[in-house]
Amino acid sequence: GFNCGIVGLPNVGKSTLFNALTETAAAEAANYPFCTIEPNVGRVPVPDPRLDRLTEIGKSAKEIPTFLEFVDIAGLVRGASKGEGLGNQFLANIREVDAIVHVLRCFDGEVTHVDGSVDPIRDAETVETELLLADLESAEKQRDAAIKRARGNDKEAKERLAVLEPVIEALEAGRPARSVTLSDDQLPAFRQLQLLTAKPVLYAANVDEESAATGNAYSAKVAARAEAEGGACVVISAAIEAEVAALEDPAEKREFLETLGLEETGLARIIRAGYGLLDLITFFTVGPKEARAWTVRRASRAPQAAGVIHTDFERGFIRAETIAYDDFVALNGEQGAKDAGKMRAEGKDYVVKDGDVFHFRFNV
Ligand code: GDP
């Protein structure tokens, strides 16, 4: 599965947010299997009304959503890249995640801030500087190693060097690795560098309860920064998310959100943004036993989608029988779609579309 690491300076609301997200998720997911939640890892079901429709039309006995994982990564302080605080452990934890949710304090109040005042842009820069410094150190080491190997005419080392040069230049100028423009065939070498600033970032501007629907002056600055970087920003109030999480009745939840001028939980908005950030799409399988949602990267081909379900499905892939979600619904299910000629047989080069309903045919 795909995962997002929640990072930020101390006292900005990371734990409050993480706990609220996973509690909300646990409540919503009470009916689903496989929803074990470790202390700092939460598997959060991705809300998708399309799955409800498919379950209904397919008369499936069970409905299983797809999940996104959130990891609470505590311990970042100024100097982490030099091993301060939980520095090295912290950086190692970030290396493991697909995307970063960067929580920024955008609320005033009694809570002590490590740097004495509320300034989300300064905080963002503090965290990003640590990640940049860690990357610079790692990239320089990798360059030294690649230079040695490139002398022996090592093709891979040369490719790596060609990527490392612009990356190091960017890092030295204070720009993240993800800002470097590379050609498609350089991407594998780039990924192998495993740089922290290569990961997409979503800012979670944590505002006071009164500003949850509108945002405030602090969150506006964060949004502007995200836009300038081509990144994403979600306004949330961790305090409100905690209150929502404490409500058990879904109707009560909805009502509470409505009184605050909110259409949905911060959880739903963060998940949607995370999906966008990671360039993920959802496909479905629908049968009498279960209707289920699955996640793949956009531009994945049919065998890769089959592989998400089972590696055997990918290895022995023959073809995918595909119905678009809209056709499945409009024609009242698989038989109707089949009769109307809307079930297509697609081969191994088929590029998966968001909402595809699949049957995979494979050799064992
Ligand atoms: P962490 O160190 O980043 O994990 O921060 P915590 O989640 O422990 O929060 C630090 C303090 O800020 C706690 O006392 C929270 O109750 C408070 N806090 C977190 N989010 C909000 C918020 O949205 N509004 C207000 N007023 N306080 C918050």
Residue bearing the CA closest to ligand 1, atom 18? 13
> 13: annotated binding-site residue?
yes
Prediction pTM value = 0.88
**What is the per-residue pLDDT across 196-233, written as a single tens digit (0 to 9) for each?**
999 999 999 999 999 999 999 999 999 999 999 888 99
| Residue 292 three-state SS | strand
Query: Residue 11: what pLDDT?
Result: 87
Using 50, 70 and 90 to split pLDDT, how confident is the model at 45? Answer: confident
pLDDT > 90 fraction of the chain, expressed in percent and rounded: 67
**What is the per-residue pLDDT across 285-300, written as a single tens digit (0 to 9) for each?**
999 999 999 999 999 9
In order, the DSSP letters of 257-278 are: HHHTT-SS-HHHHHHHHHHHHT
Using 50, 70 and 90 to split pLDDT, how confident is the model at 34? Answer: very low
Mean pLDDT of 305-316: 94
Closest ligand 1 atom to Cα of 12: 3
> 138: annotated binding-site residue?
no
Query: Residue 124: what pLDDT?
Result: 95
Mean pLDDT of 336-344: 97
Instruction: Output 321 or 43, whichever has higher pLDDT.
Output: 321
Residue bearing the CA closest to ligand 1, atom 24? 208
Query: CA–CA separation, 140 vs 145, rounded Å?
Result: 9
Is ligand 1 within 6 A of the CB of residue 50? no
Query: Residue 286: what pLDDT?
Result: 98
Is pLDDT of 26 > 80?
A: no
Report the half-sphere exposure of 68 (CA within 13 A, side-chain side). Answer: 30
Q: What is the mean pLDDT of the chain?
A: 90
> 3: annotated binding-site residue?
no
Query: Residue 198: what pLDDT?
Result: 96
Mean pLDDT of 101-106: 96
Query: CA–CA separation, 59 vs 290, rounded Å?
Result: 9
Closest CA to 22 of 4, 44, 46: 44
Length of the chain, please? 364
Sheet holding 67-72, edge to edge: 41-45, 67-72, 3-7, 99-106, 201-207, 232-236
> 126: annotated binding-site residue?
no
Is pLDDT of 20 > 90?
A: no
Query: CA–CA separation, 102 vs 268, rounded Å?
Result: 16
For a mutational test of ligand 1's pocket, the pick from 111, 115, 265, i.e. the residue with the most ligand atoms closer than 8 A to its C-beta, is: 111
In order of their start, the domains of the chain are 3-47+67-114+200-277 (3.40.50.300), 130-197 (1.10.150.300), 299-362 (3.10.20.30)
Mean pLDDT of 174-196: 94
Is ligand 1 within 6 A of the CB of residue 81? no
**What is the per-residue pLDDT across 160-178, written as a single tens digit (0 to 9) for each?**
999 999 999 999 999 999 9
Is ligand 1 within 6 A of the CB of residue 212? no
Using 50, 70 and 90 to split pLDDT, how confident is the model at 38? Answer: low
